[in-house]
Structure 1
Amino acid sequence: MSKVLRAGAIMAAGTLVSRITGLGRTIVLASAIGVAALGDAYNVAYTIPFVLFDLLMGGVLSSVIVPMIVRARKMDDDGGLTYEQSLLTLVTLILSIVSIVAVLLAEPLIGLYATGWSQHTTEVSVTLARFILPQITFFGVGALAGAMLNTRDRFAAPMWAPVLNNLVVIGVGATYLAISNAGKNIDEVTDSDLMLLGLGTTAGILAQSIVLVISLRRAGFSFRPRLDLRNLKLGELGRSVVWTLLYVGITQIGYVLTTNLAIKAGEMSKEIGVPYGAGITPYSYAFMLFQLPYGIIAVSMITAVLPRMSRHVADERLDLLREEFSSGVQVVSAALVPIGLLLAVLGPTLSLPIFARGAVSTADAIYIGQILQVFGLALVPFSLFQMLLRVFYSLGDTRTPTFLVLSIVVVNATLSLISFFFLPPGYAVVGLALAFAISYTVGAAATWVLAGSRVGGLHGSQVFMGMSRMYCAAIPGGLIALGVLWLTRGLTDLTVLSAITILAVGGGCGIALYLVIAHRMRITQVSSIIETVARRAAR
């Protein structure tokens, strides 16, 4: 466990700063463009490059390319250098072509995600997309460079590079606030305003990618353009990639549905006079807050264990794979269990001081927090599902995860449609978050059974008992936080000041009580996390 913790701690430190600056980026942008029409237009345009990258590269990186790079570095005579050079050349060429085509097709791409907008809102989003879509190439090259660094056990740069990206976009948002007269009013936004927002966003990804490429060179990799398709083992790669592309495509179909339902709910809410933005932007901002603990804790651990599990499979040591996975899951759960409960209790008190400024009203910020409360219920099962997928990926199996995610998307889509049609428009987006939480809870349970059957068990009883004890230790802290919330709300309205007080007292006491109870219950994962953090802080 100590090796996993050390690797995870290195990445968590960089990810923590990255996520904090990412939060600062979101705060600045929300203050500048709000959570209504202009915010929706920007967020949809900003999301599409990530969607296209995921379709072409994102899932392939973790599920196929990292295990193949590990095998090439282990088995090829040149330590995998030729393989990596050919791979980087091919990825750069493909993504450059995709970027050009995406810019040309910006209008139909925006139309796919937003069918209920006015013509002007659509035009604004299309203009933004044309400035933002070229980042597909930079994002892909940087992501591949980061994956290659991870296979060399160089985890710091991939976790720290996004900080530069966030700082660039924070500067862009601050500049928009200073020089634009439009603010959140989409009817007054100018072409120069859109150019600033769009090109500034792309500049951030470019800076991030440059840092990763430089770090890869310093790690000993020398790039020479090489397109040796035979060396890339395209037959093996293609068979795996097909299933991964299906996996990502299925998830994006689900996201398209969620986006369209959220946008339509927002338009319906405006028509009946709901006093807060209830479209895709509040959902996106709540999901971003939900992703903070997941990204800092779970992603760091996932990134650390995947290369190690792939090596264990290559060495035919499934016993070590089981130990690696079990240790990683329990460490992640020890941190995420209390955080998930506190998010479910204190969501609005967290979102209010973060977002209630500039173009975002108090009602807007509280609504984001209500969505976040529901996402809090999904934190542990979503993280567990993502870790379980890495068991299949380390085995070279991309087929099974495709069918698993298909079942999740079907459940999520069904529940999302029920929420949209049966809940009031102002709460439909909260229902979308609940559909997400339920579908990933069911999916994690099914995935555990299938993954365990493939590797001879995953120490299920040990992990289940450990997580049960963690919840027993966390519930009293959640109740303390809830009590502080009720007491404060009984004395005063929910304002930024009262929200900060509730967070400090209720959240602080809740976490402290969890740590005390976990120590008394001898939950070793919690003690290990505390010791690791303390050692690194003392350096």
Structure 2
Amino acid sequence: MTSQAVRNSVLLSVAAFASRVLGWVRLIVLLGAFGADGRLDPYLAAFKVPDIIYQLIAAGPLSSVLVPLVVRLRTEGDPARAHRIISAVFLLFGALALAVALLAITLASGLAQALAPGIGVAGQEEVAQLSRILAPSSVGLGIVAVASVWSATSERFFASSIGPLVYNLSVILFTLFGASTFGTTAPAVGTVVGAALFAAIALIDARAGGLRLVRPSFGDPLLLRALHSLAPRIGGLLAIQVVLTGLIAAASTLGAGSITAWSYALSLVQLPLAMVAGSIGTALLPVAARVLHTEGRAGLARVSRTTLGAALWMLTPVALLGALLAANPAQLVLGIDPASAVGTLLAAGLSLLLLSLPIQGITSVATRLCYGTGDTAGPVLCSLIGAATMALSVAPLISLFGFAGLAVAVLIGELLESLLLLLRLRVHLGGRLFRDLANPIGAVILVALVALAIAATLATALGALLTRETLVLRALSDSLAASLGLLAYLALSRRFGLTAATAPLDALRHAASALRARVGVRS
């Protein structure tokens, strides 16, 4: 790995962590400004439209297809063709984002009824108004997506690192200084301003990297093939986003604050998922393609065992310990009263969603492994089946379990998708995948259950020692028990030599050695 690549990786890692921290601050500020009694529900419902645009365009699919293409053209000495293709993509996705914005403005009333059918007429009017305000942010995010492609091919990651921070800061500042006067309009305007600033930063960075908009080449065969490859990925993501939007709509029928509780539970679960499965998946795609080309199925099987095992090893204890002990710390950080309706709903949704973490980790890693083999259709089909399962099961599950039925629907849909993906991956590997994973998975689950028992015992003992019951003391007690449970998990994994733990523990040892060496050099 080159020194430039190392610097880029460090920059992106630090920026990603800072963005996650600011994301937490944004959640806390919004709750502090509007409370957890349902006043935030209209904003969170209206925010789904720009969020869908971000997930479909700016969150990765466009880069995964276009970056290799543009890099190849620039490497082969044909930058003019690269400029024509990027110019065409700018116009195509700019027009798409503009069309979405105009539709959101024109159809705001109907959109509000679809996004939040259960929050009453006044609430739906607020959703419609906020949807109109938020609509222009779609254009900004579309610009970010295309400009970031060119910057990535130039190994420029300033915009990708700083842009999300500016975006979150804008929402935070507008909320802090405008919520008392303008209500939920303040964070909505902050979202639009943040998207505009992000777009400006992305354009400046891309221009510094040599981007020039020229006469577009819409008929270029390379562009058409890239768009053809991109279409199923966007289609699969769109299906998932539509279903997740449907879950928001279903939550709106369960009482004031249900949208807030559900949205926050989903956001909290994304943190460990992005840090583990997201980071593995980002690094895995080029590795899987290279190993398959150089070592064949045997090499890909080895990579699959290592990465799937590592994701499971890292996410399983977080899922089990979090499901048992995360509610009080999360409510303390967010400032939510556990006895409130939203606090009760958040605890139930968060616990069940955390249990889906290992399943979602398998889905993320297996999808990248399939992409590495050139298989795009398979993961998309699995995603569509999982999304359809969520959509079909949510109504009966809500009738049985109430608010918790939302999380159970996600759990069932994700489980089915992950199993189908593993079956698909098994075809590429020659049929040994399940047999190779059975023992490592069993060992991880067994050790995680032992760690869970230790943490639960400690939490009970610490709870008995508390002289008075306060949220702060309960949160500290649960956090300490969870931390000791994780330490026990690490110790047991090392003691019994868990195969799935080998790669992550080696990475930790190498990182610790490098840190000690750097500290020694500086001293």
* TM interval, short-chain normalised: 0.7 to 0.9
C-alpha contact 1:243 1:398 (8 A) present in aligned 2: yes
**Structure 1 alignment gaps of length 5 or more:** 181-191, 268-276
Q: Which residue of 2 aligns with 1:92?
A: 94
C-alpha contact 2:86 2:146 (8 A) present in aligned 1: no
Q: What is the CA distance between 1:378 and its match in structure 2? A: 0.5
C-alpha contact 2:158 2:205 (8 A) present in aligned 1: no
Q: Partners of 1:494 and 1:140 in 2: how far apart?
A: 49
Alignment of 1:529 with 2:503, yes or no, is: no
Q: Partners of 2:509 and 2:89 in 1: how far apart?
A: 40
C-alpha contact 1:59 1:244 (8 A) present in aligned 2: no
Q: Partners of 1:525 and 1:490 in 2: how far apart?
A: 39
Q: Partners of 1:466 and 1:148 in 2: how far apart?
A: 41
Q: Which residue of 2 aligns with 1:206?
A: 196
Q: Which stretch of the first structure deviates more once superposed, 441-450 or 466-475?
A: 466-475
C-alpha contact 1:285 1:368 (8 A) present in aligned 2: yes
Q: Which stretch of the first structure deviates more once superposed, 16-25 or 101-110?
A: 101-110
C-alpha contact 1:385 1:440 (8 A) present in aligned 2: yes
Q: Partners of 1:95 and 1:413 in 2: how far apart?
A: 26
Alignment of 1:48 with 2:26, yes or no, is: no
C-alpha contact 2:167 2:198 (8 A) present in aligned 1: yes
Q: What is the CA distance between 1:49 and its match in structure 2? A: 1.3
Q: What is the CA distance between 1:294 and its match in structure 2? A: 0.8
Q: What is the CA distance between 1:12 and its match in structure 2? A: 4.1
Alignment of 1:500 with 2:475, yes or no, is: yes
Q: Which residue of 2 aligns with 1:390?
A: 368
Q: Give the letter for the 1:196 counterpart.
A: A
- Identity across aligned pairs (percent)? 23
Alignment of 1:411 with 2:384, yes or no, is: no
Q: Which has the higher contact order (CA 8 A, sep 6+)?
A: 1
Q: Aligned to 2:253, what secondary structure does the other structure show?
A: helix
Q: Which stretch of the first structure deviates more once superposed, 318-327 or 512-521?
A: 318-327
Q: Aligned to 1:38, what secondary structure does the other structure show?
A: coil
Q: Which residue of 1 aligns with 2:335?
A: 356
Deviation digits for residues 92-142 of structure 1, max 9, x if unmatched? 343234323322322222222122221111111111121212111222222
Deviation digits for residues 236-270 of structure 1, max 9, x if unmatched? 24433443343233223422431222111126xxx
Q: Give the letter for the 1:338 counterpart.
A: P
Q: What is the CA distance between 1:509 and its match in structure 2? A: 0.5
Q: Which residue of 2 aligns with 1:273?
A: none
Q: Aligned to 2:117, what secondary structure does the other structure show?
A: coil
Q: Give the letter for the 2:331 counterpart.
A: L
Q: Which stretch of the first structure deviates more once superposed, 127-136 or 224-233?
A: 224-233
Q: Which residue of 2 aligns with 1:20?
A: 21
Q: Which residue of 2 aligns with 1:290?
A: 269
Q: Partners of 1:536 and 1:176 in 2: how far apart?
A: 46
How many pairs are equivalent?
Answer: 511
Q: Which residue of 1 aligns with 2:187?
A: 197
Q: Which residue of 2 aligns with 1:485?
A: 459
Of the three residues 301, 313, 320, the one matched with 1:341 is 320
Q: Which residue of 2 aligns with 1:61?
A: 62
Q: Which residue of 2 aligns with 1:139?
A: 141
| Change beyond 3 A, Cα 1:338–1:211 | farther
Q: Aligned to 1:167, what secondary structure does the other structure show?
A: helix
Q: Partners of 1:152 and 1:389 in 2: how far apart?
A: 27
Deviation digits for residues 439-475 of structure 1, max 9, x if unmatched? 2122212211112313546855444433433333332
Q: Partners of 2:187 and 2:95 in 1: how far apart?
A: 27
Q: Aligned to 1:137, what secondary structure does the other structure show?
A: helix
| Change beyond 3 A, Cα 1:456–1:486 | same
| Change beyond 3 A, Cα 1:535–1:199 | farther
Q: Give the letter for the 1:531 counterpart.
A: R
| Change beyond 3 A, Cα 1:463–1:21 | farther
TM-score normalized by structure 2? 0.85
Q: What is the CA distance between 1:40 and its match in structure 2? A: 1.0
C-alpha contact 2:277 2:311 (8 A) present in aligned 1: yes
Q: Partners of 2:305 and 2:473 in 1: how far apart?
A: 41
| Change beyond 3 A, Cα 1:204–1:521 | farther
Q: Give the letter for the 2:443 counterpart.
A: R
Alignment of 1:433 with 2:407, yes or no, is: yes
C-alpha contact 2:112 2:125 (8 A) present in aligned 1: no
Q: Which residue of 2 aligns with 1:420?
A: 398
C-alpha contact 1:32 1:176 (8 A) present in aligned 2: no
Q: Alpha carbon RMSD of aligned pairs, Å?
A: 3.5
Q: Aligned to 1:37, what secondary structure does the other structure show?
A: coil
C-alpha contact 1:92 1:141 (8 A) present in aligned 2: yes
Q: Partners of 1:210 and 1:536 in 2: how far apart?
A: 37
Q: Partners of 1:12 and 1:99 in 2: how far apart?
A: 32
Q: Aligned to 2:48, what secondary structure does the other structure show?
A: helix
Q: What is the CA distance between 1:360 and its match in structure 2? A: 8.9
Q: Which stretch of the first structure deviates more once superposed, 166-175 or 483-492?
A: 483-492
Q: Which residue of 2 aligns with 1:30?
A: 31
Q: Aligned to 2:47, what secondary structure does the other structure show?
A: helix
**Structure 2 alignment gaps of length 5 or more:** 519-523
Q: Give the letter for the 1:128 counterpart.
A: L
Q: Which residue of 2 aligns with 1:332?
A: 311
Superposition pairs for residues 499-518 of structure 1, below 5 Å?
499-518=474-493
Q: Partners of 1:453 and 1:229 in 2: how far apart?
A: 36
| Change beyond 3 A, Cα 1:43–1:240 | same
| Change beyond 3 A, Cα 1:361–1:339 | same
Of the three residues 147, 168, 175, the one matched with 1:166 is 168
Q: Which residue of 1 aligns with 2:448?
A: 474
C-alpha contact 2:232 2:380 (8 A) present in aligned 1: yes
Q: What is the CA distance between 1:289 and its match in structure 2? A: 0.5
